[in-house]
Structure 1
């Protein structure tokens, strides 16, 4: 199928609002829609899933590369009638100012998508046509489905916008004009939008979004653009599954919700049975586990409640000291600290996490393992993303396993801390960047499990 790619000239134009409205409207029409998000963002995919009832997957050209992006897209399209991809930043913005690497445009061309350009129409009329002309002509290989104007001030404003686009030969059609409506905006916080679990976007909110799209966007034109996919049907339906050899507990609740679906599926494909638990609500880890995966999220917003769950925190610390393999990213890494500001955490790592008034780090990261680790042997490469407002000042005695760099090979020093069989980092790795990473973690969990079984059978 030809995906619709919801893009914009820049961030803040309304891509997420239009995407969610489309997903909700198409779902209301009875269509199975596969949602996707370009880039490393975790929050928008959560809203996608709430709007259309299907898992939303990340398509990131820099972290994953073309072949994995195609595979993730094909897998996510299984059973769907239409695919909608929300872009990242501006249409041509990515990891570089010199190329399309990591951009929405790159992914759109890889997948043969048709771009719906969302333009913020505030304070402009005919000038919008000049802007659109520049975007359409910047890369002739891109296909444009049409234009959606957002934040249109009045019927007269809409008339001027439509006249402007119609007056310039070769521009794609205006598919719709959305009026200004502050009630359709999603709330934001320091890492971007509020997560789906915290935003309070209920069924009524998505109904309002769907109504807005139905009333102001020509959905029938978009639906006529559906085409047969060039991807093999067998590939679309191929699951990443195999028989389970280890049980890995995964923290998932309002405090820990930042996971790439592909990471979880690749762990399952490597032989992991994933069992989910809530550090906010569960007083104990799941029974019989051989590993622990603590993803990112907003633990700082729930620090008081997490600190009150002292039985679980003590069990995590005890299990870690006993050798349980643990992989923790960002928010999960903070849970393993001694504290988050004044709230006591599990104390697996001898450092305190503190929130900062300004962003500490943001950007793509390439990681090279400097020593053997739960994720693979020394020399293993993987890519990910870092974005946080907190910091942990780790003592020099704690081993650093990551040699980090950003795009272009710029050295960022060492990170990725290890104590016992615990690996903690602020970097969210995407396992599709190196499929061996998920296999190594499962094999590591299995080796520790077998060594414990051998010890129990032969304690002498």
Structure 2
């Protein structure tokens, strides 16, 4: 591939008409191919998804960032994109269909909205399996809505070489858009899905070999040189780099607050910006495994239990009795704790799996979790408190719900409200030291939330002193 300079202004978005079109497969193959050519690459995910960035991270070896225009305004989002980004090329993976934003009916917070804010050329991945000339209508429809003229090329997914040769000429003649190549039907190169999206990277056997084969296929059937040329034509992006949302001047002489962060196969959904913000506010993050470690890390003054798949590891979590006892003791004795989605489920009395097996959990929340078979309260939410604890009066923190499980006791201390339609409901178990609920929160949407948590942790005795 041709040489390009280190510059975050070289950028491309991989988007699609709908979920399941192959965005993540094409994105990961592109990242791997770029790495194979010796280029430095940065990866980003549009929207609140946790799993796709884990795939990006497995390719690059460094965290991928989420960029979400419901969570942060346009100026901040540009700053987060530019921060610490000295790569030769940035690759942004879209979310859902290109124009699907808030509530599925607004452009706001869609992949297209992000592409406009970042002035990023779009490569549209079209799954043409089972289609013929109708692909022209789909492409023309997407171009008709492209007011910013950002769609610069197409990749045809699940397409045979013979059909590609016919489609390419037809599309380029009738639509005037470059067709950069195709990806054939390869059953050996597919990422399998489950109810929350793709399987996790660690669950895919020989993933690195799979990624290399995807990249090799793309090198053969996709014009990566032209794609790089399109990325290099992106306009210079103006904006102030934001490494993290400012917490105000932190006194470096003040000792760090040790926060125990659950991180293993069961608890792996964390926004990189959330962790950066905790550290910027004075936290030292101490990772531990609720499945494999016998006890909480010594010296911690607070707990963070993130999302993930506790339902897949309910037996292992239940059998680690010493860890469950440690967490229950720490929380009942007043240790500050944040728990969201999977972490919230883990704190219940029991967790019933999809197969109907029931396992004992920590028992801090006096309720039980069960599989519903459908998405529960899915989508973006703004959360306000009934009584002021973590937030300023009448303020909110933004988040996202994406779960097939529900609780017999979701809490009643806060109000969650949809940004579109205005539907609202009671949620969250909260007091001055605890915030426990199903929503995945984006802390930089309200840094006061983190500031309050760190202040409460700083007042707490270290864990070994109990």
Q: Which residue is equivalent to 2:123? A: 116
Q: What is residue 67 of structure 1 aligned with on the other side?
A: 75
For 1:38 and 1:234, locate their aligned partners in 2 and report how far apart those are by CA, in whole Å: 20
Q: Distance in 2 between matches of 1:304 and 1:240?
A: 41
CA distance in 1, matches of 2:408, 2:393: 24
- The alignment partner of 1:268 has SS state of helix
Indicate if the aligned counterparts of 1:371 and 1:379 stay in contact, CA closer than 8 A. no
What displacement does 1:420 show? 7.7
SS, match of residue 416 in structure 2: strand
Q: Secondary structure at the match of 1:407?
A: coil
Give the Cα–Cα distance (whole angstroms) in 2 for the partners of residues 124 and 232 of structure 1: 41
Aligned partner (choices 196, 204, 225) of residue 201 of structure 2: 196
Partner of 1:184: 189
Q: Aligned equivalents of 1:40 and 1:133: distance in 2?
A: 29
Distance in structure 1 (CA, Å) of the matches to 2:417 and 2:243: 36
Q: C-alpha distance in 1, partners of 2:200/2:428?
A: 26
| 2:218 aligns with one of 206, 209, 213 | 213
Mean CA deviation greater in 226-235 or 42-51: 226-235
Question: 1:295 maps to what in 2?
Answer: 306
**Taking structure 1 as reference, are residues 420 and 143 closer, same or farther at Cα in structure 2, changes over 3 Å only?**
closer
Deviation at 1:213, TM superposition (A): 1.0
User: Where does residue 292 of structure 2 map in the other structure?
Assistant: 281
> How many Å separate the matches in 1 of 2:218 and 2:382?
40
Matches of 1:227 and 1:271 in 2, distance apart?
Answer: 41
Residue pair 2:266, 2:312 contacting (<8 A) in 1 also: yes
Q: Secondary structure at the match of 1:37?
A: strand
CA RMSD of aligned residues (A): 2.4
More off after superposition, 206-215 vs 431-440: 431-440
Write the distance in 1 (CA, Å) between the matches of 2:195 and 2:92. Answer: 24
Q: Pick one of 421, 439, 462 that aligns with 1:427.
A: 439
What corresponds to 2:382 in structure 1?
366
Rounded to whole Å, the distance in 1 between the matches of 2:122 and 2:139 is 12
CA contact (8 A) 2:11 2:234 kept: no
Name the CA shift for 1:246/1:232 in 2 (closer, same or farther; >3 Å). Answer: farther
Check whether the contact 1:3–1:111 (CA below 8 A) recurs between aligned residues.
no
Aligned partner of 1:81 among 71, 77, 88: 88
Whole-Å Cα distance in 1 between the matches of residues 145 and 365 of structure 2?
50
Distance 1:239 1:411 in 2: 29
Q: Where does the alignment leave 5 or more consecutive residues of structure 1 unmatched? A: none
Counterpart of 1:150 in structure 2 is 157
- Structure 1 runs of 4+ off > 4 angstroms? 231-234, 236-242
Q: 1:264 to 1:333 in 2, by over 3 A?
A: same
Is this contact kept in 1: 2:244–2:277, CA < 8 A?
Answer: no
Contact 1:94 1:103 (C-alpha < 8 Å) held by counterparts = yes
Paired residues, what number? 447
- The residue number in structure 2 matching 1:127 is 134
Change (3 A) 1:20 1:250: same
> TM-score with structure 2 length normalisation?
0.90
Aligned pair partner of 1:165 in 171, 196, 215:
171
Distance in 2 (CA, whole Å) between partners of 1:289 and 1:236 is: 29
Distance 1:372 1:323 in 2: 18
* Cα separation, 2, equivalents of 1:24 and 1:352: 43
Instruction: Give the TM-score taking structure 1 as reference length.
Output: 0.91
Q: SS of the residue aligned with 2:343?
A: helix
Q: Is the 1:64–1:430 Cα contact (8 Å) retained in structure 2?
A: no
Contact 1:356–1:391 (CA under 8 A) maintained in structure 2: yes
Separation in 1 of the partners of 2:173 and 2:236? Answer: 35
- Secondary structure of residue in 1 paired with 2:138: helix
